[in-house]
């Protein structure tokens, strides 16, 4: 009896312990993790980059002057020269204005050296404007016509060779002349860019850079252009016709910078 009672007591204790363990396990609830509210950082505001300015002016003021007008190195300074007249120069000039002060205009001049400017009295000029501009890249052998900062045409061009290079710089259209014969195209745009390699072309007294027809070099110009001329810029006749309406005084920028201009819609 005592042995059985002892066994029963042990069994009862074990059972009670199991009940406690099982009951404790049943009543013990592991808390679920409380989700933390994560507020996502606000995305950075978009950055809008202004488009690069066009490589040519979007608006140019032109001063129309007549006669051998004298110019100075500074506004109101002593005259140091005169605008040439006579021969094929003509009497009337249309000169781009590069700076203005009360009563005075700084203008680009047609004669050598390249890049020459001078100050003239504002009262001596009649002012107008143009939104046209021409860009010539002698590296990519392209001519581009721009209007108000918008690229209108990108054309293959024949430019000067390494022996007779097209002069680099900022120039302008001096006049629009009739063609001199077959191959010159519908007209000739004479610029004030003087050749750095040729002082006088065929006895004319100077060597200006002009924009004209192919002079029989259509194949050499092709669709990519090429270095084929004595410094002038040659275009296919149909491409030259696209420059009709460009007035004297229009800026002509000649560069070797491999400029790439995106066509705007």
| Confidence at residue 229, expressed as pLDDT on a 0 to 100 scale | 96
Of 83 and 18, more confident: 83
Q: Which domains does the chain have, with CATH numbers?
A: 60-130 (2.30.30.40), 132-255 (2.40.440.10)
Residue 171: phi, psi to the nearest 5? -130, -160
> Whole-angstrom Cα distance, residue 72 to residue 257?
32
The string of pLDDT tens digits covering residues 152-179 is 999 999 999 999 999 999 999 999 999 9
Q: How far is CA 32 from CA 24, 29, 35, 121, in A?
A: 18, 9, 9, 89
> Whole-angstrom Cα distance, residue 188 to residue 207?
14
DSSP secondary structure letter of residue 10: H
The string of pLDDT tens digits covering residues 80-118 is 999 999 877 889 999 999 999 999 999 999 999 999 999
Give just the sign of the alpha carbon dihedral 118, 119, 125, 128: positive
- Mean of pLDDT over the chain: 86
With H, G, I as helix, E, B as strand and everything else as coil, classify residue 241.
helix
> Whole-angstrom Cα distance, residue 251 to residue 173?
7
Residues 56-69 have a mean pLDDT of: 97
DSSP secondary structure letter of residue 54: P
Phi-psi region of 48 (alpha: psi -120 to 50; beta: other; left: phi over 0): beta
| Confidence at residue 238, expressed as pLDDT on a 0 to 100 scale | 98
Residues 227-240 have a mean pLDDT of: 97
Strands 142-147, 132-137: parallel, antiparallel or unpaired by DSSP? antiparallel
């Amino acid at each position: 009896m005592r042995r059985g009672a002892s066994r029963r007591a042990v069994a009862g204790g074990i059972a009670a312990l199991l009940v406690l363990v099982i009951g404790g396990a049943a009543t013990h609830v592991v808390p679920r993790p409380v989700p933390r509210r994560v507020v996502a950082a606000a995305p950075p505001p978009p950055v809008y980059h202004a488009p690069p300015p066009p490589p040519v002016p979007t608006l140019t003021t032109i001063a129309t002057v007549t006669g051998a007008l004298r110019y100075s190195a500074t506004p109101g300074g002593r005259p140091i020269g005169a605008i040439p007249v006579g021969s094929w120069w003509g009497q009337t000039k249309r000169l781009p204005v590069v700076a203005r002060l009360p009563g005075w205009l700084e203008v680009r001049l047609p004669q050598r050296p390249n890049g020459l400017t001078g100050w003239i009295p504002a009262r001596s000029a009649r002012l107008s404007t143009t939104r046209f501009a021409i860009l010539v890249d002698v590296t990519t052998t392209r001519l581009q016509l721009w209007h108000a900062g918008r690229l209108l045409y990108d054309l293959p061009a024949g430019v000067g060779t390494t022996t007779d290079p097209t002069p680099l710089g900022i120039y302008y259209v001096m006049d629009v002349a009739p063609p001199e014969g077959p191959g010159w195209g519908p007209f000739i745009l004479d610029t004030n860019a003087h050749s750095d390699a040729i002082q006088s072309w065929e006895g004319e007294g100077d060597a200006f850079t002009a924009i004209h027809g192919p002079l029989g070099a259509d194949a050499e110009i092709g669709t990519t252009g090429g270095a084929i001329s004595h410094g002038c810029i040659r275009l296919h006749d149909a491409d030259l016709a696209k420059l009709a309406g460009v007035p004297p005084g229009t800026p002509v920028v000649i560069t070797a910078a491999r400029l790439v201009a995106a066509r705007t819609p």
